Chains A and B, each alone.
Chain A
Amino acid sequence: MSGSEWTDPRPMSPHLQVWKWHWTMASSIFHRVSGVGNYLGALLVSAWLIALASGAEAYGTVEAVMLHPVGQILLFFWLVSVLFHLANGLRHLIWDGPKAGFDPKAASMWSIVNFAFGIVAAAIIWSLATNLF
């Protein structure tokens, strides 16, 4: 369709306004939201690596941004986002491969577990990283 002026008039997916909020719906939409979040976080990781190759001065600037309270909050949210996407992504692989976990009760429970994993694992990793190192 390259170069076409045609614009699809149909509604776009997943069409939030017609969905009833539920755990499975929330984990589906947050899989996409966290994917976009990980994309933005990857820009920060890229800045960190490029600064490391550029020299001590550039690295110092990026490190100052990372250690600033705003940077720390962004890094924590990025960690939650990565861990949720990882857990929910594993579920996608299990859906596609062994085809397990589709019945409504299991699907809801698994969604809750993925949200909990994202937050709890991020908190544990964060406290280990700040206390042990």
Chain B
Amino acid sequence: MSTNFKTPTASARGLGSAKSGTGHHIKQRVSAIALLFLIPWFLYAVIAASRGGYDGATAWLAQPWNAILMILTLGAAFYHMRLGMQVVIEDYIQKAGMKQGLLILNTFACVGLFTATALSVLKVWISAGL
């Protein structure tokens, strides 16, 4: 302690109340900007892909640009979702153990679903041999 000559204000400035709030805010905005472009494409994509049954959806997702944009959408969406749900849990769950458990579950769910869905897209793309 005696070696820290910074005032408490100087140590806290720019870091937010828990030293991570500003970073969280910026990450949430940057992923939002990405989703602003990706979600309109994604809504069109899901409708276009699902109209032709299994064969139509597979052929659609096997197109390289569709597969790439789908993985980008999944990445930005799961990242944005994890950050958003984190704040909801922190705001409403008072009990310490339950809160930490849900925060971990939120991270596991988002990372797990991103891995599973991104690899699903890659499998469809690569299986088609395009």
Contacts and interface: CB of A to CB of B under 8 A. Distances in A.
Interface residues of A, number: 42
A39 B54 contact: no
Main SS class of interface, A: helix
A93 B46 CA distance: 26
Given A46-B113, A93-B29, A63 B39 contact: no
A9 B96 CA distance: 11
A6 B99 CA distance: 11
Contacts of A92: 29, 32
Interface string B10-45: 000000000000000000010011011001100100
B57 interface: yes
Contacts of B81: 35, 38-39, 42
Nearest to B103: A2
Interface string A4-20: 11111100111000000
A66 interface: yes
B51 A53 contact: no
B29 A96 contact: yes
Contacts of B39: 82, 86
Nearest to B43: A125
B8 interface: no
A59 interface: yes
Interface in A45-81: 45-46, 48-50, 52-54, 56, 59-60, 63, 66, 79
Contacts, number: 92
Nearest to A14: B91
B36 A50 contact: no
Interface in B35-67: 35-36, 39-40, 43, 46-48, 50-51, 53-54, 57-58, 61
The 8 tightest CB contacts between A and B, nearest first, are: A53-B120, A133-B51, A53-B123, A59-B54, A129-B47, A49-B117, A56-B54, A49-B120
Given A52-B58, A90-B36, 17 more contacts: A2-B100, A6-B96, A7-B95, A32-B88, A36-B85, A46-B117, A49-B117, A49-B120, A52-B61, A53-B121, A53-B123, A63-B54, A66-B50, A82-B39, A93-B33, A93-B36, A133-B47
Interface of B: 29, 32-33, 35-36, 39-40, 43, 46-48, 50-51, 53-54, 57-58, 61, 70, 74, 77-78, 81, 84-85, 88, 91-92, 94-97, 100, 113, 116-117, 119-121, 123-124
6 contacts: A35-B88, A42-B77, A43-B113, A45-B46, A45-B117, A129-B51
